[in-house]
């Protein structure tokens, strides 16, 4: 069945298959013994994804004050936001009750308006944090971590800094989608690795630097496309003695030397073929950066996922899910959700549902709750509607009436729109993947945030190009200064833990701010989009995230495997 996207600014045609219809029927909730059918989507997959991303402010953080204990805290809400928020410790305490904000359903008004008003009234977490966290006050969309700083979309990490998409990592810094790894710096999409510098798309590698697309390699330097190799330099096989002597002459603590090796590896990449997609151990899958997946279609950055479509950034296990952005960790039977997971199931049209929550519809940040509809900011709740407590019998009588009302207002089967997001469009992840100019965003009914972040309070600011080249020459005083980013011109601080890491690992002090470094890593990854392209070896047509005009050599999977093995 072919459909046209219902957004007025989008005329994209999209297909709804019989398998899609079967999923919507299977996932439709049963209330009081009656199934309430979820209709097929009216927006194209991209617009649905943009809508989900428009609710997530993952990286723009501000200095604030907890509304309960009055202590200073980092927060996702800017100073001009009317949202009340508590620090994670207070929010998870028994000092307040989200049920005090409960209200009755008004059948004379749209449901989404009432849900938005409720969400604004209920105190939110200053930062989205779950699980037991130690000495990790400045992590966001993260949990169960120790001694971490400014890691986002991260769980089960120790001693990690400036990372995005970190899962079960230890002592990693400046990375993007590194899983089950230790002692990584400046790495992108490296899984089950140890002691790497500036590597990308590597699996089960160790004690190496400047690698791309390598598996099972150790003691390798500046190599591309290797499998189960040791003591290679520039893809040339050396003896252990020869490799050791070659490496001894290289000082990666020099900024100039480090950047030269980054550029040399990039030139080497253009001489070697890449596979049409990144991933392994897949069965009936289509996407990119998929690992240990089965029956996963049109999805990206997923691990241990089964029976899914239009999903991104689900890791550590998910099953029977459509249209979910982030995070998984045993998420099942979910549809149109944002940043939800950790032993959750039966969650539909929800934003941030966590920690063993079951059978929730249209909820906004919930923990350990079940059988709730249109609730916000609740913990351990059951049979609540708009945060008001009901009996099981009352709940099952009222929910059908609300669904029928939402069917009349065309809200049933839709995730709440970006125009009701808590954040300006330009502060959300939507701006990263679907960039808009200010006027475009306003014309589409989105909010725009013009506030600039305050500058750090430091004794002096030093230009990046004035820093000593060698990490050994960086004085301890740098901790009281700020460095002016060579790209944005904005000053940024160096913290004691990262300076210690740079010195121990012989890594030069960065010349770019943490946010710019994140954007640099993002730019090195392929977009979440497919193009038609011919295999560079056999000429067979294929779908790939490498656009036809890109300079890389790209092979179909069959030709690629013959080349590297």
The confidence score (pLDDT) of residue 37 equals 97
Q: Within a domain: residue 262?
A: yes
From residue 111, give the alpha-carbon distance in Å to each of 99, 124, 386: 18, 20, 10
Beta carbons of 225 and 234 less than 8 angstroms apart: no
Structural domains in the chain (count)? 3
Give the number of residues written for the chain. 565
CA distance 349 to 414: 7
The confidence score (pLDDT) of residue 419 equals 96
CA distance 530 to 541: 12
Which are the contacts of 108, defined by CB distance < 8 A and separation ≥ 6? none
pTM: 0.94
Which are the contacts of 136, defined by CB distance < 8 A and separation ≥ 6? 129, 142, 145, 146, 147, 148, 149
Which are the contacts of 561, defined by CB distance < 8 A and separation ≥ 6? 275
**Helices and strands (H and E) in the chain: how many:** 12, 41
Both tokens of 379, joined, read 């913990």
Q: Within a domain: residue 58?
A: no
Q: Within a domain: residue 395?
A: no
Both tokens of 236, joined, read 């040339």
Q: Each residue of 453-486: pLDDT tens digit?
A: 777 777 799 999 999 999 999 999 999 999 999 9
Beta carbons of 289 and 295 less than 8 angstroms apart: no
Domain residues for 38?
Answer: 2-43
Residue closest to 102 by CA, chosen among 399, 369, 387, 363: 387
CA distance 343 to 450: 38
Beta carbons of 217 and 207 less than 8 angstroms apart: no
Q: Is 503 exposed, middle or buried (0-12, 13-18, 19+ CB in 10 A)?
A: middle
The confidence score (pLDDT) of residue 243 equals 98
The confidence score (pLDDT) of residue 397 equals 96
Q: Within a domain: residue 519?
A: no
Residue closest to 481 by CA, chosen among 509, 504, 456, 460: 460
The confidence score (pLDDT) of residue 456 equals 75
For CA atoms 528, 513, 155, 166, give the dihedral sign: positive
Q: Within a domain: residue 242?
A: yes
Which are the contacts of 405, defined by CB distance < 8 A and separation ≥ 6? 105, 107, 111
Q: Within a domain: residue 541?
A: yes
Q: 246 by DSSP, 3-state: which?
A: helix
Both tokens of 156, joined, read 């089960």
Which are the contacts of 232, defined by CB distance < 8 A and separation ≥ 6? 217, 219, 220, 221, 223, 226, 238, 243
Q: Is 104 exposed, middle or buried (0-12, 13-18, 19+ CB in 10 A)?
A: exposed
Phi-psi region of 413 (alpha: psi -120 to 50; beta: other; left: phi over 0): left
Q: Each residue of 402-420: pLDDT tens digit?
A: 999 999 999 999 999 999 9
DSSP 420-457: G-SS-GGGSTHHHHS---HHHHHHTT-----PPPPPP-
Q: 407 by DSSP, 3-state: which?
A: helix
Q: Please list the alpha-helical segments (H only) found in 71-179.
A: 88-91, 111-121
Measured at the CA of 416, the angle between CA 15 and CA 307, to 5 degrees, comes to: 45
Q: Within a domain: residue 271?
A: yes
**Which parts of the chain register pLDDT below 70?**
none
Q: Within a domain: residue 100?
A: no
């Amino acid at each position: 069945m072919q459909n046209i996207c219902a957004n007025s600014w989008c005329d994209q045609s999209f297909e709804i298959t019989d398998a899609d219809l079967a999923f919507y029927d299977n996932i439709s909730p049963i209330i009081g013994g009656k199934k309430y059918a979820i209709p097929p989507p009216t927006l194209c997959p991209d617009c649905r994804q943009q809508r989900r991303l428009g609710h997530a402010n993952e990286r723009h953080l501000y200095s604030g004050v907890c509304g309960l204990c009055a202590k200073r805290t980092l927060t996702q809400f800017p100073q001009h936001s009317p949202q009340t928020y508590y620090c994670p410790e207070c929010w998870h305490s028994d000092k307040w009750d989200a049920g005090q904000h409960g209200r009755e359903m008004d059948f004379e008004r749209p449901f989404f308006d009432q849900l938005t008003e409720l969400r604004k009234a209920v105190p939110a977490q200053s930062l989205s944090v779950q699980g037991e966290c130690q000495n990790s006050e400045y992590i966001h969309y993260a949990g169960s971590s120790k001694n971490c700083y400014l890691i986002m979309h991260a769980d089960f990490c120790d001693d990690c800094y400036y990372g995005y998409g970190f899962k079960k990592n230890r002592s990693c810094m400046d990375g993007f989608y590194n899983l089950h790894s230790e002692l990584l710096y400046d790495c992108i999409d490296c899984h089950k690795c140890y002691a790497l510098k500036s590597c990308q798309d590597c699996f089960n590698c160790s004690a190496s630097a400047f690698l791309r697309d390598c598996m099972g390699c150790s003691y390798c330097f500046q190599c591309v496309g290797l499998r189960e190799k040791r003591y290679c330099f520039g893809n040339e096989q050396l003896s252990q003695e020869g490799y050791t002597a070659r490496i001894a002459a290289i000082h990666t603590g020099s900024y100039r030397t480090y950047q030269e090796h980054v550029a040399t590896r990039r030139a080497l990449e253009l001489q070697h073929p890449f596979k049409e997609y990144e991933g392994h151990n897949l069965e009936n899958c289509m996407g990119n950066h998929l690992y240990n997946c089965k029956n996963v279609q049109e999805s990206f950055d997923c691990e241990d996922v089964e029976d899914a479509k239009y999903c991104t950034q689900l890791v550590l296990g998910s099953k029977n899910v459509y249209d979910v952005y982030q995070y998984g960790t045993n998420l099942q039977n979910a549809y149109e959700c944002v940043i939800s997971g950790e032993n959750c199931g039966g969650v539909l049209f929800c934003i941030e549902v966590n920690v063993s929550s079951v059978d929730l519809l249209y909820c906004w940040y919930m923990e350990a709750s079940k059988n709730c509809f249109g609730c916000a900011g609740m913990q351990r709740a059951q049979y609540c509607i708009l945060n008001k407590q009901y009996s099981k019998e009352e709940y099952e009588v009222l929910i059908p009436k609300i669904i029928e009302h939402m069917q009349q207002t065309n809200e049933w089967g839709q995730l709440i729109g970006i125009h009701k997001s808590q954040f300006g469009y330009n502060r959300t992840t939507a701006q990263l993947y679907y960039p808009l100019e200010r006027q475009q965003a306003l014309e589409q009914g989105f909010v725009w945030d013009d506030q600039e972040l305050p500058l750090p309070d430091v004794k002096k600011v030093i230009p990046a190009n004035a820093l000593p080249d060698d990490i050994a020459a960086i004085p301890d005083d740098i901790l009281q200064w700020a460095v002016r980013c060579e790209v944005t011109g904005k000053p940024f601080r160096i913290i004691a833990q990262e300076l210690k890491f740079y010195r121990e690992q012989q890594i030069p002090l960065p010349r770019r701010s943490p946010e710019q470094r994140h954007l640099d890593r993002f730019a090195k990854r392929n977009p979440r989009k497919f193009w038609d392209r011919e295999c560079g070896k056999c000429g067979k047509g294929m779908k790939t995230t490498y656009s036809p005009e890109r300079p890389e050599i790209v092979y179909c999977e069959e030709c690629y495997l013959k080349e590297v093995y």
